[in-house]
Structure 1
């Protein structure tokens, strides 16, 4: 598992970590509507990489505890997740501060690995 950060200066090094990757976990700030298009563009660029062809995608819709946040359904729509035909994916509403939704993420990952 690697936390490779989303800063612009780090993105060119992401491919270093793609080999043998079973899952891509994208954490989305559910309150940041203005930068969601950046996440979408980077996600689709990543998923085109040959090393990620067999990976599964887990999107964490974080900060669900904040008023005015986007729902997981809204984020899914904005990211056009239903258009992903070559990757199994799941989106999960969560709150990193309370841990709400995180156990469901781990359960989904386990079912995907057959364990």
Structure 2
């Protein structure tokens, strides 16, 4: 089941109502809104401290890449301090909701990462590191 929960400040207190049995979090960032990156980083890191999100796969979509002057994925990775996230598998992808760029690629990564954590780790726990950031680990 997927839920779209808006990011407006008035809706944020309700986010925690949706955390039970969450296997993945898709975080969509407006790549053109440089002014809100600090707020975005603070909210994301705060959410990742929630016990009910422990270990959930994290996909960050750097949206609005079709707009000139938007931040690159690398700039957003740095602004959100993603490399400090060690408790969740994560991936950042540039995307565009208008053109569809990388939407399927991102969702495929989420499905594969969740399956890898939930299924493969139960049959090959010695082949999957408990924590890492960035690209998913290969399971042979």
Q: Is the 8 A contact 2:57 2:114 kept in 1?
A: no
- Give the Cα separation in 2 of the matches to 1:31 and 1:54: 29
> What SS is found at the alignment partner of 1:34?
helix
Name 1:105's counterpart in structure 2: 106
Query: Which structure 1 residue ranges, 5 or more long, are not aligned?
Result: none
What stretches of structure 2 of length at least 5 have no aligned partner? 117-140
TM-score (normalised: structure 2)? 0.79
Q: Which residue of structure 1 aligns with residue 89 of structure 2? A: 88
Distance in 2 (alpha carbons) for counterparts of 1:114 and 1:19: 18
What is the CA–CA distance in structure 2 between the aligned matches of 1:5 and 1:11, rounded to whole Å? 8
Please give the alpha-carbon distance, in whole angstroms, between the structure 2 residues aligned to 1:12 and 1:67: 33
Cα distance in 2, alignment partners of residues 20 and 57 from structure 1 = 14
Please give the alpha-carbon distance, in whole angstroms, between the structure 1 residues aligned to 2:104 and 2:8.
Answer: 27
Rg: which structure is higher? Answer: 2
Q: Distance in 2 between matches of 1:25 and 1:94?
A: 12
**In structure 2, what is the equivalent of residue 72 of structure 1?**
73
SS of equivalent residue, structure 1 residue 3: coil
Distance, in Å, in 2 between the alignment partners of 1:14 and 1:65 is 28
- Find the residue that maps to 1:92 and give its secondary structure: strand
Q: Name the SS of the counterpart of 1:68 in structure 2.
A: coil
How many residue pairs end up in the alignment? Answer: 115
Tell me the distance in 2 between the aligned counterparts of 1:74 and 1:35: 13
Note the C-alpha offset of 1:22.
0.6
The TM-score with structure 1 as length reference comes to 0.96
Q: How far 1:23 moved relative to its partner? A: 0.7
Secondary structure in 2 aligned to 1:65? coil
